[in-house]
Amino acid sequence: RGCSRRRRMWWSLLLEFLCIAIFVAVILWWLRSPGFVSVHVILNVWLSWTMALSFVALVPLDLNLVYVQRCLDVFGGNSTLAGERCPMEYWRSWSAVESITSDEMALDRSKEALRVAWLVVYTVCIANGWFILTAQQGYEENRNFSTYRRFIEAVSNNACFWVTVATLFS
């Protein structure tokens, strides 16, 4: 019973990410204009929106982890009180995947997993929002017929933008 409950907790997070991805796909399908926007742009927008909405799944986990860590710091000396007031069930669920022998190991593994998740979400959002999607927009709006020319002009327009930003803020 305990092991299946532990697995269920992590599966619920994966299910939440899957629901976010499906929700974004449905919205993009509904908003698309057939034949006008390239598939690679739609896929990249889907990735961007999915990563941005993943914040909804990560913030509660992060807040709960911080709460549990601070709770254990306060009640750490009294194991009975810490067991009652500091909800460790979710974080102990790592034992369903790997060998975790203590609460500290579970919290350390959880911190590392959340750090990686935040890093992936932030990196994808920043790269797509500031570089990739803007270059794709320049490529799609370019009036040249040659793929090579469209690519070169999109990259040069994006570079021109970044040189302007660097000049203004330096």
pLDDT value of residue 98: 67
Residue 8 has pLDDT above 60, yes or no: no
Residue with tokens 């009036």: 143
pLDDT level of residue 101 (50, 70, 90 thresholds): low
pTM above 0.85, yes or no: no
- Asked if residue 133 lies in contact with residue 45, where contact means CB atoms within 8 angstroms, the answer is yes
Residue 7 has pLDDT above 50, yes or no: no
pLDDT, average across residues 64-74: 84
Q: What are the two backbone dihedrals, phi and then psi, of residue 15, each rounded to the nearest 5 degrees?
A: -65, -35
Residue 43 has pLDDT above 60, yes or no: yes
Residue 145 has pLDDT above 60, yes or no: yes
- Asked if residue 65 lies in contact with residue 87, where contact means CB atoms within 8 angstroms, the answer is no
3-state secondary structure of 21: helix
pLDDT value of residue 51: 93
